[in-house]
């Protein structure tokens, strides 16, 4: 709710898009390979941080969120190249 209060409807829509993309990117086309398991762990870590952030308002300041977001993007790129 903090995002909606501070940025309005457009900011909240962009936040929802970020959350959706952050969760879908590492979790799509999951396989039972080492890279697939790493992507699953990254996606579950992001999900845990997002659920935890429902009770505090420091999601954007959390370095683990940004690190896992970047690792999920790198993992998705590696699968597409294989």
Does any domain span residue 68?
yes
Does any domain span residue 11?
no
Tokens of 44: 């579950």
- The pTM of the whole model exceeds 0.85: no
Does any domain span residue 17?
no
Does any domain span residue 75?
yes
Each residue of 13-46: pLDDT tens digit? Answer: 888 898 898 888 888 777 788 888 888 888 889 8
- Total number of domains in the chain: 1
Residue-number span of the structural domain to which 31 is assigned:
22-81
């Amino acid at each position: 709710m903090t995002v909606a209060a501070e940025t309005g409807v457009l900011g909240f829509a962009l936040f929802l898009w970020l959350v959706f993309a952050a969760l879908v990117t590492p979790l799509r086309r999951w396989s039972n390979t080492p890279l697939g398991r790493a992507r699953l762990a990254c996606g579950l870590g992001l999900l845990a941080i997002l659920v935890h952030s429902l009770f505090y308002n420091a999601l954007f300041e959390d370095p683990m969120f940004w690190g896992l977001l970047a690792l999920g993007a790198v993992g998705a790129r590696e699968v597409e190249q294989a």
